[in-house]
């Protein structure tokens, strides 16, 4: 039997922090040394940390997808595909349903694109310039049970 902690750490952390704050406001018998606000903040940070990790994995996936398009003949293509699969697996392990509406794929895409623009010069830079400014993917595609690296990369052309 799974718990909310197991199923959605972000939602669990927010609910627990709210409960701790209510307890602090309503309970007269709590010890003075119990730092309710900082305790609640630490509990919330558990969920936020997981969200940041998922976003980081997704952003790194996007950077690598751009690399596949910018340097299709690179000897690193197989490595980049492998990295995308690893970032995908990591994001899926940490992902919780309540993160879905909080992940801004367009912001992650803009960051990945900007990193790529700074990393390349010449014809590769021009290829990045040609990549869509708006994210060509949605969260569900990036967190699908099985990642289709070739299919995602082909959509960037």
Residue 96 sits in which domain range?
4-154
Q: What are the b/e assignments for 85-114, b being 16+ CB within 10 Å?
A: eebbebbbebbbebbeeebebeebbbebbe
CATH number of the CATH domain containing 125: 1.20.1220.20
Check whether 24 has a pLDDT greater than 90. no
Report pLDDT digits (tens) over 87-145: 999 999 999 999 999 999 999 999 999 999 999 999 999 999 999 999 999 999 999 99
Q: What is the mean pLDDT of residues 75-93?
A: 98
Number of Cβ within 10 Å of residue 150's Cβ equals 9
Q: What is the mean pLDDT of residues 76-85?
A: 98
Check whether 150 has a pLDDT greater than 80. yes
Count: domains in the chain: 1
Check whether 26 has a pLDDT greater than 90. no
pLDDT-derived band at 83, boundaries 50, 70, 90: very high
In the DSSP assignment, the letter for residue 100 is: G
Check whether 33 has a pLDDT greater than 90. no
Give one word for 80, left, alpha or beta, with left for phi > 0 and alpha for psi -120 to 50. alpha
What is the sign of the dihedral through the CA atoms of 39, 40, 46 and 52?
negative
Q: What pLDDT is recorded for position 29?
A: 72
Report pLDDT digits (tens) over 47-56: 999 999 999 9
């Amino acid at each position: 039997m799974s718990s909310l902690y197991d199923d959605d750490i972000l939602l669990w952390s927010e609910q627990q922090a709210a409960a701790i704050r209510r307890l602090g406001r309503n309970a007269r018998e709590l010890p003075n040394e119990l730092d309710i606000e900082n305790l609640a903040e630490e509990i919330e940070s558990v969920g936020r940390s997981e969200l940041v990790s998922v976003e980081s994995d997704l952003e790194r996936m996007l950077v690598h997808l751009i690399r596949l398009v910018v340097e299709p003949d690179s000897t690193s293509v197989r490595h980049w595909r492998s990295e995308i699969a690893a970032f995908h697996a990591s994001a899926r392990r940490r992902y919780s349903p309540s993160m879905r509406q909080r992940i801004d794929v367009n912001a992650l895409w803009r960051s990945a694109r900007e990193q790529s623009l700074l990393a390349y010069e010449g014809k590769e830079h021009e290829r990045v310039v040609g990549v869509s400014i708006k994210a060509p993917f949605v969260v569900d595609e990036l967190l699908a049970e099985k990642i289709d690296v070739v299919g995602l990369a082909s959509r960037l052309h």
